[in-house]
Amino acid sequence: MAKNIRLLLTVCLLAIAGLIVLQFYWIKNYYQTSLFHFEREVNLAFEDAVKKDFQLRCDTIEQLLVAQLMDTSAFTIQSRYSKVQKVIVHHIYNAKDKKDYTSFSSTELPDSLVAGDIVYKRKIAQQFARNLRTEDLENHVVYYRIQSLGHFVTDKVKRYGFDTSRLRPVLRQRLSERNIYTGFSFYVTNADSLLSHTKLPDALAQNGFVATKAQPTYKWWAYNEQYVRVVFENPIGYIFVKMEWILAGSLLLIILVALCIWLLLKALFHEKKLAIIKNDFINNITHELKTPVATISAAIEALQGSDISKEKNIRYLQHAQHETGRLSKLIDNILNISLYEKNTIRLQPEPVLVEKTIQEIIDGLKIATHIPIQYQYKNDTGTNSVVADKQLFQQALTNVLDNAVKYSGNEVVITVTCSTGSGYFVISCSDKGNGISASSMPHIFEKFYREPKPDHAIKGHGLGLSYVQKIMEAHHGTIEIKSIKGKGTTVILSWPL
């Protein structure tokens, strides 16, 4: 039995360990997948943010360029018909140098500019600014079509060049759209690769930071700011958010499996304990059954003799009668608790005289045990009876007082005190016997349980207190036991009034 239990326990522990290993492997793979997804998302967000920031800077420069072209002190705009191209050509002149000019034509501007037409002039300026944006700015170059205009655009490109302070809010918005709120910083350098990750400083790598691919800044005027990356703090928080249901499910599964195994083992050990207790009970009950049977058998054999005297005849019959009563009482106790567990006991409540019943029990114990009993009864409640099933009331008190006698040795002192409170008639039975150890107190109402003893001098079968508890529950009452090892025990029975 013990070997099988150890084997089962080993298998259960291996099963839990295997489940934990599988869950760890699964979670680790999911973590790697989530980390890869995080890197992909932050790279996409970074690319989108860089493009959006660049478009915003181009918008700003385009608007400033339109305003500059509309300034007559800086530039003048004129239109002429080209016989060669057979279209209207718009000319933009440096207001301070008529030889410094550029021209363009557009199907969207088919008419010639009339002096004083500010609206049409603005359209020409906007179209030219748009052309310069698509041909120059978006290709990260500046062509000096007009020297003064080239200087102006170059100045604005430098002024509104790449700046991490402007990129940060744009990137944060792109990240929030992807539910990424991990802290980040920018890593700007003069040399990097646009194809793959380069080695980051050890301080970043050791902390588990994640870096995006590099993006060019196109700041040709700033040597140390040619490339930029975004370096994110350890994304464990983001990954855990993604994995929260996976982790919760895995943890719940492990807990459920462990709980089931624990309940199984608990039930198994309980059954083992119960089997040991039952075996002990069978050994005790067998001994107690054999003793009266042997005595009765011996008495009958003696009575069969021809030369037996009348005095011996009476004595043998008394022994047989006593042992028969003892055997009947033992069988009744076993049958009573069995019937109660099957809920076949029906109460027949009636008024029961407390002092009279207890006195009859004490007198019976004096005769049965041949031990002097010092008995004291106290009742100052003014109530002499309770409504209960008379037979069960007597059996409950008999079991309690019988234990007091059995576990008190040769000097039995029993005090029964009656009181009332909270709708109950309380009977407290105190003795000065051996008492019960603290380790045994939680088990005293378990069926078949007996406190471990070094010998078996005190006979019993572990049913008494369990049966008393059942009787009290049937009457909707309570039983409470207070005991100090070596000083005595008090059993408190509370009967409803």
Nearest to 417 by CA among 378, 362, 361: 378
- Pair 354, 427: CB distance under 8 Å: yes
pLDDT band of residue 162 (cuts 50, 70, 90) is: very high
Note if the pTM is more than 0.95: no
State residue 277 phi and psi, 5-degree precision.
Answer: -65, -40
Of 465, 346, 480, give the one whose Cα is nearest residue 424. Answer: 480
Q: In this predicted model, which residue has the larger pLDDT, 220 or 34?
A: 220
Helix H segments across 342-439? Answer: 354-369, 390-406
Q: What is the mean pLDDT of the chain?
A: 81
Give 335 or 417, the one with higher predicted confidence: 417
Reading the block at residue 271, the tokens are 């059954």
Contact 409, 481 (CB under 8 A): no
Helix (H) or strand (E) run with residue 494 in it: strand 488-496
Mean pLDDT of 486-492: 87
pLDDT at position 335: 67
Q: What is the pLDDT of residues 393-443, one digit of tens each?
A: 888 888 888 888 888 777 788 888 999 888 899 999 988 888 888 877 887
**Which candidate, 383, 386, 368, 405, places its Cα nearest to that of 471?**
386
